[in-house]
Structure 1
Amino acid sequence: MRKLFVLLIITVFTFVNISAQETRFGLKAGADFASLKVKFEGDNLSTSETGFYIGAFAEIAVSDSFKFQPEVLFVTVEDLGQIAIPLMAKFPISGEFDILAGPSLGILLDSEEGMKSFNFGLEAGAAYDITDNFFVEARYNLGLANLLEDAPSGYSVKLSGFFAGLGYKF
């Protein structure tokens, strides 16, 4: 199932490249400051860990004021690995500064027994072009999926994170 999902993403990237008027591809990497929020019997527990992310993206110009930016990222924190697939709407604010927002899907690679492997959430942030090719970015991912399998009422486990990194557009 995971291989099929990754193949689907690669296929979408390929067809987008063929059909888009102006498409740029790129690579990115940075730090992930993840938080796991656990809710049970009225109590809340939160833990934070630092990891990294690395991946690829396509920047598809739909109009002068809107770009679509699908991404495939490998995110790792401690012993937890995830393939993240943010589907970002990118709005240029100035020649160098962009606002990004959109849904993010994820596949947890090391989910423990009793935990779901599919994750989803909302992501928002900003990017600043240092040059035509290099940029810096910062984003927050709000995890919406309850990762606890067959969770009783009032019980949840959610994964969120703050990302900061560098990227290169070809």
Structure 2
Amino acid sequence: MKKLLLSAVIAVFTMINLNAQESRFGLKAGADFASMKFKAEGENLSTSETGFYIGAFAEIGISENFIFQLEVLYVSIEDFDQIAIPLMAKFPVSEEFDVLVGPALGILLDSEEGMKSLNFGLEAGIAYDISEDFFIEARYNLGLANLLEDAPSDYSVKLSGFFAGIGYKF
């Protein structure tokens, strides 16, 4: 897992150097409304918790209509703190609005015994530029990974979340 993360970071910095004139960096923070879905023997149970996220991102302009956005976020909720790494495709819809979509990896920092520490899913959302430097965003992360180790096929635990926050671009 460490090799995968290191490879991703090296690839991003290589892309940034190739497109340095079209790259921006920034910071973001906000609220995370997480839900954990339990499935066992045909029964479903869902719990919700509110937490926060804070992190950094890099925008790499690929073309006028496509931006690659790599993020590294610390996400804190009561039971599961994680490092989230969304790899987002950003599509400008207008001067102020952007649509974001892509895969997201999560490394759980305090997973319990019997739980996996690698989470993954799909993320989609929108961003609105308040000014050239400030923006607000809303996104949903659909957790696809079964976080239970060695679970029978009808048992699963999945972590998803709705994010709302503000960011600043340098």
Pick the TM interval, shorter chain: over 0.9
Residue number in structure 2 paired with 1:19: 18
Deviation at 1:15, TM superposition (A): 1.9
**AA at the equivalent of 2:18:** S
**Aligned alpha-carbon RMSD (Å):** 1.3
Residue number in structure 2 paired with 1:148: 148
Alpha-carbon distance in structure 2 between the residues aligned to 1:54 and 1:112 = 23
Deviation at 1:153, TM superposition (A): 1.9
Counting matched residue pairs gives 169
Alpha-carbon distance in structure 2 between the residues aligned to 1:109 and 1:7 = 17
Alpha-carbon distance in structure 2 between the residues aligned to 1:13 and 1:56 = 13
**Structure 1: which 5+ residue stretches go unaligned?**
none
Residue number in structure 2 paired with 1:66: 66
Residue number in structure 1 paired with 2:30: 30
Alpha-carbon distance in structure 1 between the residues aligned to 2:133 and 2:122 = 26
Query: Aligned residues: percent identity?
Result: 73
TM-score (norm 2): 0.95
Residue number in structure 2 paired with 1:95: 95
Alpha-carbon distance in structure 2 between the residues aligned to 1:41 and 1:76 = 30
Residue number in structure 2 paired with 1:129: 129
Alpha-carbon distance in structure 1 between the residues aligned to 2:168 and 2:103 = 22
**AA at the equivalent of 1:76:** S
Residue number in structure 2 paired with 1:46: 46
Alpha-carbon distance in structure 1 between the residues aligned to 2:18 and 2:143 = 32
